[in-house]
Structure 1
Amino acid sequence: MTAPAHTRSSADLIRAEEPVLAHNYHPLPVVVARAEGTWVEDVEGNRYLDMLAGYSALNFGHRHPGLIEAAHRQLDLLTLTSRAFHNDKLAEFAERLAALTGLDMVLPMNTGAEAVESAVKVARKWAYEVKGVPDGQATIVVAADNFHGRTTTIVSFSTDETARSGFGPFTPGFRVVPYNDLAALEEAVDDTTAAVLIEPIQGEAGVVIPDDGYLAGVRELTSRKGCLFIADEIQSGLGRTGRTLAVEHEAVVPDMLLLGKALGGGIVPVSAVVAKREVLGVLRPGEHGSTFGGNPLAAAVGTAVVELLETGEFQRRAADLGVGLRDGLTELVGKGVVGFRARGLWAGVDIDPSVGTGREISERLMREGVLVKDTHGSTIRLAPPLTITAEELAGALAALEKVLK
């Protein structure tokens, strides 16, 4: 990559943001101006290996040529009609996404939080019209330490006080149980329960992987109790864990599947609720919508993403390279790493507090040319593009070993 010409330095641009941007993020002090594949460049032309991939929004790397070509082609034709009219790209996107996931119908939206909000509405509607829950009494059971977004409804069932504090009053109708606890889930589900909403792997919590059998247990319990199983795979889905979906590690098919991030290829925001026909079929015209949801540009890029996943190449890469990731992290346990959790090309790494906080380790890695992000104080997350090479992955692990010393 050729460094772009800029008249303002990274420091100047960071200072310029301070008075005009809301302070709802605490980014690392790097100003990215150009990217390709697994690498990004700042405005001075310094190169960094991206080991975060936009929280899995960039599963296929920056500016994947097939996705960029699909976007360019569609930009020359049509970008938006709203859903007031049909467009010629939406049917194929829905057909192929439903086939990829083994479900029946697609509700296209834009952001991950919109997909979650949509699922909440659909689950409640289903509870009243199909299950027969009295109007206004539907409940949804969620897991502690969840992360499903930051809208008012979603933070109402968050256990993260940073996300909740100062944003009440909160939306009722949710019950929180410990993650990975089937007994607690069994106790919480009753005749009013519309759905159980969980992440198959909790990403923001630090890549928390449940015990073997947990997801199958959730599926069995929800089927037996007559409520829906909603799997939020916005971060874990679309190849990240070595399978198309994380629920596939236990051969589980949920009633509703939530997708986002990588579905837009790192180009446009694309999310979707994918569900069984008898679930999404409760929606009727006028009851839910989105001006940009299912727009032709998003549908064209989304279809190109599905086409990449249909080959199985990226799922295999994540599984194969994930072995090297786990082996490399195992070597660091006791050398500044106190533990880690990994599946495919996704890991939460717990740093020994005596070595540094997660933020400090992230900043040290940035100075070594590797970009990661911290969460929950002492944990860093690794989620590189699935296009990363074994050599690049080894280089990132070597940099981590260096900054831990």
Structure 2
Amino acid sequence: MRQAGYQTAGFGKTHWNHGVKNPVPSNRGFEVRSVGLARNSGHYEDGAVMMGDVEPGGLAAYSEETKDYGGGEENANGYIGCTSQVPMHLHRDGWVAEECLKFLDEGIDESRPLFLYLSFLKPHAGFNVPQEFEDMYDINDIPDIAQPPWETEQGTHLEATDEEIESSRNNYWDKRIVWEKMSPEERRRTTLRYWANCTWLDHYFGRALEKLERQGRLDNALIVFVSDHGEMMGERRHRFSKYCLYDSSVRVPMVLSGSYLPEPLRGTEDDRPAELVDLVPTLAKVAGLPRNPQLPGLDLLGTEQRLGTFCEFHSKGGEPHHAAPAFMWRKKDWKLILFLPGTLGQAIGNIDKFLGELYDLQADPNEWNNLYADDRFAKIRERMTGELLMHLACVWSRGPFFYDRHGLAALE
């Protein structure tokens, strides 16, 4: 976007995690960057304004409130959360939002188009929520989370991961034990605080959009709203966070809005299979940049569509090793997951031991009933397996080409 002449400003989470071993980590083309973390967090970028440098007291207060929430604020305490006593602007996300709003008032270059990136750590756990947003919800209106008819995973990629990775197994059972002792109201409180977290961040997005609208910046704009992952929120016998290939984890919001959209598309829903990798070619075309044919994404505003959506899972954590991978192929009515037991290091020698999951998403939207071994669905299983393998072949090795005068033309 910067090469296309845009002013580039990024506020908040990127999760590039490249600031530990590299003393001068790249800011990936952003001219303006603010990151709501400390310089020594592993998220520092060259030239970025770090919250830990300019608001150390606020970051310390936030850290004190969440000190018992564990790594990534994902332990049981993190999901139970609290009504926050830290002022909103001293939360990491609140500080990032205020930095963005200040930039919109003082930092915009009127001579150039703007690429603005605003990203938050929440609604990820922990659930220490500002009271005014928690008070917007009534605990009596919050549903409990439906649970499957079985007690433990059987024949799934989650069972394989928990069996192989001790930390994954322990993290799961630490929370499950706590949640099984809770009353229904206590469990619903977690859902309430998750919703309140979402609403809190929505209000910041709204403030930024209102400011851009007053400045006339939305008269010719494309607005993209996405998330990097979902949240299990206690499904499948009290699973939390994202570490799996089920819909609550991998199916995320993707909203395209703004005056740039053709009139017939505004206010519509499109059920085409879409992936986050589609944002690169979509935004490149908007900016007048050439498409990189080595990348797998499709233009979301174009006519070409993929048959299904792909996702891969490499277990939670990597110490002392990763579990062997699992791959998902999802279509409108069916989902296939292929996975290997054991570790990643053993995987090449174990490819004949692959296992699978198959779900009828219309009849079984919770993905509780694995039909992979049911011969009645053998044709669907084999067809989707072939589609998954061909998808991998097409997007991972884009075909041979030579670095000659024709460049990447052979991949077009």
Same-fold status (TM-score > 0.5): no
With the shorter chain as reference, the TM-score category is under 0.3
Instruction: Using structure 1 for the length normalisation, give the TM-score.
Output: 0.28
Higher alpha-carbon Rg: 2
Instruction: Using structure 2 for the length normalisation, give the TM-score.
Output: 0.28
